[in-house]
Structure 1
Amino acid sequence: MRHAELHQTLEQVVQGFCRLKNIGEVSSGEGFAINFEEWEWEVGVGLYGFWQYALSQNDAGLQQSILAWYEGQLAKGLPAVQINTTAPMIALSLVAGHTGREDLLKVVNDWADSLLQTLPKTEEGGFQHVVKEQPNTGHLWDDTLFMTCLFLGSAGVVLKRKDLIDEASYQFLLHTRYLSEPASGLWYHGWTFIGQHHFSGAFWARGNAWITVAIPEFIALLGDSLDASVKRYLSQVVARQVKTLCQMQAENGMWHTLVDDPLSPQESSATAGIAYGMLRGVRMGILDADVAGSALRAWDALRNRIDDRGIVLEASKGTMVGPDLQYYCDIEMAPVPYAQALMMLLLLELQQGEWLA
């Protein structure tokens, strides 16, 4: 794929994100105005990908489109602080730091304080995976590290608050202890302190993708603000995970919804996230160069799963911790903003790292 063709595909995927109004609802609009209506994790991941794209293009118009979405949401009033509603705060912390606007910095600071002071905690001070549907008492989920701790770390850098960086680092370490399976390095979807188990024991692909993405992003966002021992530890965690993920990859380059079950559906958002995290980690020097081959095989499979409107196909809807493994296999596929975002990040990395040259 030539550079111009790669850029055209990236632009189509960004426009596909802008067309999404709600989960599974695609408008016929053109351009880069964001139509998604709800402040939730799905659009939060999308906004993070969009912001990285806008920065890479050094495009003031794209950056203004994101700012306009946030200004509209702030005017309506923000929802209660919990894990999933924190996801849109990741990009907002970066926007606030980029613009230096005091009103946005205050929103970021207040939200971070609320996370530390009011979010329910599990045993050992873990961030309980509270969502709008249910409190999930005593639960740790792998999603939390992307949705909440990337924000907390980024906010700590922007606001120059070491307490936020320390808390985010602790959450990464604690979640690793309870969710990472020692033998394989794969991550379980959830852990409950109440029942002392991993629910159905699912090695859920998108959950693993959140980790493959979140660890390199956390290290990159924090830079020299991250303790060297934490960086070293997390680098080993993701390297161990990725080694096994390469072994679990399907022959066509995709990953299955349950990474260790070749009969479960293949899933695009997880595949894009895993491939992106691999390439990002290689370029950062925290992953071995040979894993890039698996990531490029994944891209070969994914490029055929982007339609003419820029919509990423074969991505599954939001997924709770399932009571059994069949639950994960039955999740419906639909156009979703986080698939657009993870594909954006992969395409940006392909472009910036000149992986296809």
Structure 2
Amino acid sequence: MAVVKKEHIKNAAERVYRYMTESDSTDWGMNIHAWDWVPGVGVIALLHYYDQTGQEDVLNYLTGWVDRNQDKAGRTKVINSMAPFAIFPRLYEQTKQSYYLDQAKQISRWIVEEAPRTREGAFEHTVTEEDSFPEQVWADTIFMAVLLLARTAKLTKDADLAAQALEQVAIHLRLLQDKETGVLFHGWNCAQGDHLSAARWTRANAWVCVAVPEILAEISELIAIPSEIGLHYKRMIDGLITYQNEQGLWHTVMDQAEFYHETSGSAGIACGIMLAIRRGMLDERYKDFVMKALNGVLANIHATGEVGSVSGGTPIMPTIEAYQTIERIPTLYGQGMVLMLLVECFGLE
């Protein structure tokens, strides 16, 4: 396996960062001036980049981004659109501006008190106010909404909010985990009692891989973490590594070897493994799988910083075959997942 020099990783991260923040695209995937889950994942990744590098230009970009877009904040009350708020607790810590704290608390209250829930108690996944997915649980929710709850809980020392975040992690793992392989299905329908098309979609697993170690780290001083959570997470990772291909990547539906390689999900899984190692949830031997994925991801970063082979927006598709029809386009979440992986790998050589 090729050894990747630290400077190569850092240079790639800088290119990916620049491609995100210097783009003037109005396309859905790269429009960072919208307020939705796509730019939300982007700014979450930029905050991660700042936390690891301390680059003041990154923090200034984030505070400027909020200033420019705050009139859009909270207009659309759906789970996916809560993603950008996950940066607010940390921005409050950095700036002490009360706006960030007030918004984090207000949106967290909306999620807990008003967001629709399934009969199982999971937050019902909602994407837009026009579309409804009644009684559906999607893996995406853990990253898009529960991460905010955990970060707000830590900032405000709210044990009840921490318990809400932990409950959602437990419910989602229980409902989505495949008993046979340990990996997660894309979704669950509480009314029908099934996993819909039963796709073992790679990016669904990536959202959970990244979010769970972060969530548990945020709330661990406020509430006891049951050992079952860690066991479920490790079983998921052990299942995922069996699907990693020779290029170090995962196919967009991981058990479909003829489907295309998908970079955002592959980067997210590898990043989650690194986060879990850092949090003590996994041991050091899992770094071998990360290094393999890192090489595969780097091969998909263009000289411009654009990340290639990223699948576009993907609802739960009616059939497994339909996932292969999703086009690959540049997206902020693809850039973001890759940036987070690169940051976590700064110490790998």
Equivalent residue letter for 2:102? K
Q: Tell me, yes or no, if structure 1 residue 83 matches structure 2 residue 86.
A: no
Describe how 1:77-116 pairs up with structure 2 within 5 A: 77-116=73-112
Q: Tell me, yes or no, if structure 1 residue 355 matches structure 2 residue 348.
A: yes
1:56-84 residue CA offsets vs partner (Å, 9 max, x unmatched): 22223321110111111113453222111
Q: Tell me, yes or no, if structure 1 residue 128 matches structure 2 residue 124.
A: yes
1:9-67 residue CA offsets vs partner (Å, 9 max, x unmatched): 111111111134344676xxxxxxxx612101111111111011112222233211101
Q: Which residue of 2 aligns with 1:65?
A: 61
Q: Distance in 1 between matches of 2:115 and 2:307?
A: 34
Q: Which residue of 1 aligns with 2:239?
A: 244
Q: 1:119 to 1:252 in 2, by over 3 A?
A: same
Q: 1:24 to 1:335 in 2, by over 3 A?
A: farther
1:223-245 residue CA offsets vs partner (Å, 9 max, x unmatched): 4224232xx32221121111111
Q: Which residue of 1 aligns with 2:202?
A: 205
Q: Tell me, yes or no, if structure 1 residue 14 matches structure 2 residue 17.
A: yes
SS at match of 2:188: strand
Q: Which residue of 2 aligns with 1:31?
A: none
SS at match of 1:114: helix
Q: 1:286 to 1:23 in 2, by over 3 A?
A: farther
SS at match of 1:191: strand
- 1:215, 1:235 within 8 Å by CA — same for their partners in 2? no
RMSD value, Cα? 1.6
Q: Distance in 2 between matches of 1:25 and 1:336?
A: 4
SS at match of 2:137: strand
Q: Distance in 1 between matches of 2:73 and 2:200?
A: 37
Q: Distance in 2 between matches of 1:233 and 1:99?
A: 37
Q: Which residue of 2 aligns with 1:333?
A: 328
Q: 1:311 to 1:226 in 2, by over 3 A?
A: farther
**Which ranges of structure 2 fall in alignment gaps of 5 or more residues?**
none
Q: Which residue of 2 aligns with 1:172?
A: 169
Q: Which residue of 2 aligns with 1:32?
A: none
Q: Tell me, yes or no, if structure 1 residue 286 matches structure 2 residue 281.
A: yes
- 1:129, 1:144 within 8 Å by CA — same for their partners in 2? yes
Q: Distance in 1 between matches of 2:240 and 2:27?
A: 28
Q: Which residue of 1 aligns with 2:293?
A: 298
Q: Distance in 1 between matches of 2:118 and 2:72?
A: 32
Q: Which residue of 2 aligns with 1:4?
A: 7
- 1:143, 1:210 within 8 Å by CA — same for their partners in 2? yes
1:83-102 residue CA offsets vs partner (Å, 9 max, x unmatched): 11111011122212332211
Q: Distance in 1 between matches of 2:196 and 2:136?
A: 10
Q: TM-score normalised to the size of structure 1? A: 0.92
Equivalent residue letter for 2:283? D
**Which ranges of structure 1 fall in alignment gaps of 5 or more residues?**
27-34
Q: Would you tell me which structure has more helix in proportion to its own residues?
A: 1
1:319-341 residue CA offsets vs partner (Å, 9 max, x unmatched): 10111011111111000011111
- 1:54, 1:63 within 8 Å by CA — same for their partners in 2? yes
1:144-184 residue CA offsets vs partner (Å, 9 max, x unmatched): 01111011111111122222111111111111111111222
SS at match of 1:312: coil
SS at match of 1:115: helix
Equivalent residue letter for 1:250? N
Describe how 1:233-272 pairs up with structure 2 within 5 A: 233-272=228-267
Deviation at 1:103, TM superposition (A): 1.8
Q: Tell me, yes or no, if structure 1 residue 322 matches structure 2 residue 309.
A: no
Q: Distance in 2 between matches of 1:76 and 1:48?
A: 17
Q: Tell me, yes or no, if structure 1 residue 221 matches structure 2 residue 224.
A: no
SS at match of 2:240: helix
Q: Which residue of 2 aligns with 1:274?
A: 269
Equivalent residue letter for 1:97? E
Q: Distance in 1 between matches of 2:5 and 2:109?
A: 46
1:92-138 residue CA offsets vs partner (Å, 9 max, x unmatched): 22212332211221111111111122211110321010120412111
Q: Alignment identity in percent?
A: 27
Q: Which residue of 2 aligns with 1:343?
A: 338
Q: TM-score normalised to the size of structure 2? A: 0.94
Deviation at 1:301, TM superposition (A): 1.2
SS at match of 2:120: helix
Aligned length: 344
- 1:23, 1:337 within 8 Å by CA — same for their partners in 2? no
